[in-house]
Structure 1
Amino acid sequence: MKTQKLKILFFGMTAEASGCRELQTDCLPTTGDLQKTLLEKFPLLKTQNFTLAVNEQVVNHGLHPLEAGDEIALLPPFSGG
């Protein structure tokens, strides 16, 4: 049976701002809903620039649909070449 939760992974500055590296939360309809929930739960994330990846695929908008069992990563900007 597939989990009814989303797995959230925090990297770099997003981990520092949230105070955690991993979190499970109830499934939400879209990445926009998830981002709103995360910003409410972790206000310091509002000061961070990050990209969302769903199941290791970067998504470009807040309307990307989510399904139970998805893994979401909050990726900070990376420097270097």
Structure 2
Amino acid sequence: MKTIKCTVKYYGIIRDILETDSDVAEFSAFIPTLNDIKLVLEKSAPEIKKVEYLFAVNQKIVSNLKLVLKHNDEIALLPAFSGG
């Protein structure tokens, strides 16, 4: 099976928790979904479970965690923004 690589970008408090702006996720044993990204992140940094955030895939907000990811997809984790 071909390796699927996706860029994962982090913003706001998620970037602070993970102490990085981005990562590259690689999957070769199975075809990944957005939920797989979520599970990997929550396992590596459980604090993320306390943060409300949205996913964007290729700059479009996505709510379907069963979305199948494709090679070179760009995923962004967007925490709730506040301000005034």
Q: Give me the TM-score of the superposition, normalised by structure 2.
A: 0.83
Q: How many residues align?
A: 79
Measure the CA separation in 2 of the matches of 1:12 and 1:45.
12
2:62 is aligned with 1:59: yes
4+ residue runs of structure 1 moved beyond 6 angstroms? none
Higher deviation after alignment, 50-59 or 18-27 = 18-27
Match of 1:25 in 2: 25
Unaligned runs of 5+ in 2: none
Unaligned runs of 5+ in 1: none
Q: Give me the TM-score of the superposition, normalised by structure 1.
A: 0.86
Measure the CA separation in 1 of the matches of 2:83 and 2:51.
19
Tell me how large the CA RMSD over aligned residues is. Answer: 1.7
Higher strand share: 2
Higher deviation after alignment, 69-78 or 27-36 = 27-36
